[in-house]
Amino acid sequence: GALVYQYPRRTICKSGTSMRMECQAVGFQATSVAWYRQSPQKTFELIALSTVNSAIKYEQNFTQEKFPISHPNLSFSSMTVLNAYLEDRGLYLCGAGQANSDYTFGSGTRLLVI
Amino acid sequence: AQSVDQPDAHVTLYEGASLELRCSYSYSAAPYLFWYVQYPGQSLQFLLKYITGDAVVKGTKGFEAEFRKSNSSFNLKKSPAHWSDSAKYFCALEAPGSNAKLTFGKGTKLSVKS
């Protein structure tokens, strides 16, 4: 079956530092990877959508300068939260999918900023 | 632009009762609609989706949802409810052709008392 692994599961970083999270697709080719954030007590917001052979598309309020994403092959993606502050805390979710199929979500990376 | 509204932030009921979680959407054409569940401290799990065809869609864990175009709703149902159904439920919309970009509602926290 299709599985998506995200790591680390939880992480703590000091305010102003950066943190990188990774997403691994197993059992299928992830032609698209979507990164979402769930801030405390809120819903999931799309950060950006990465599709092979296309530019990474960031949603309003999210920028490449703050959340650089790498999608070097069909099984792996990473995203970094640069210069993290309190408002960046939350659950970061990676969803990976193929053309014309639904996303499979990873277990998420929970970020705590202190 | 599309949006998803889950008007009930919290729903509480007793085990054995029927549950119905409300979801309405705003989209100019025919959307794809999803329900996901998030157990405490965990990531999203897929429950079901509506693409086209029969208005009632059956999913995992005994859930089903009914698509009603007349009032743009996609309510989630289960009978009877079990205490293990206690979780947060998210309704989501995908605009066809958007490369599986999901717009989530704010979620409904369901508490099932035994």
Residue A85, CA atoms < 13 Å, CB-side half-sphere: 2
The alpha carbon of residue B43 is apart from the nearest alpha carbon of chain A, in Å, by: 5
Please check whether residue A32 is in contact with residue A39, taking contact to mean a CB–CB distance below 8 angstroms: no
Give me the residue spans of the domains in chain B.
Answer: 3-36+43-113
Tell me what pLDDT residue B1 has: 82
Tokens of B105: 């509602």
Distance separating alpha carbons of residues B90 and A98, to the nearest angstrom: 22
What is the pLDDT, as a whole number, of residue A100? 66
Give pLDDT, residue A66: 97
Count how many pairs of residues, chain A against chain B, have C-beta atoms within 8 Å. Answer: 46
List the single range of A49-58, A66-75, B30-39, B78-87 with lowest mean pLDDT: A49-58
* Minimal C-alpha gap between A73 and chain B (Å): 18
pLDDT at B21 exceeding the cut of 70: yes
Q: Which residues of A touch B (CB under 8 A)?
A: 6, 32, 34, 36, 42-46, 49, 51, 91, 93, 95, 97, 101-103, 105-108
Instruction: Inform me whether the pLDDT recorded for B18 exceeds 90.
Output: yes
pLDDT at residue B24, rounded to an integer = 97
Task: Please provide the DSSP assignment of chain A as one string.
Answer: --EEEEE-SEEEE-TT--EEEEEEEESS--SEEEEEEE-TTS-EEEEEEEETTS--EEPTT--TTTS-EEEEETTEEEEEE-S--GGG-EEEEEEEE-TTS--EE---EEEEE-
Which residue numbers in chain A have pLDDT < 70?
100
Contact yes or no for B102 and A46 at CB 8 A: yes
Residue B44's pLDDT is what? 86
CA distance A38 to chain B (A): 10
Give the tens place of pLDDT for each residue, B44-71: 889 999 998 889 999 999 999 999 999 9
Which residues on A lie below 8 Å from B60 (Cβ)?
Answer: none
Topology, domain B3-36+43-113: Immunoglobulin-like (2.60.40)
User: Is the predicted pLDDT of residue B77 greater than 90, yes or no?
Assistant: yes
Tokens 């401290």 belong to B41
Judged by a CB distance cut-off of 8 A, whether residue B29 touches chain A is no
Distance CA B9, CA B105 (A): 10
Residue ranges and CATH numbers for the domains of chain A are 3-113 (2.60.40.10)
Q: What is the pLDDT of residue B42?
A: 82
Q: Which residues of A touch B43 (CB under 8 A)?
A: 6, 91, 93, 105-108
What average pLDDT does the structure give for chain B? 93
In this prediction, residue B83 has a pLDDT band, given cuts at 50, 70 and 90, of: very high
Give the residue carrying structure tokens 């099932």: B112
In tens, the pLDDT along A94-106 reads 999 887 677 889 9
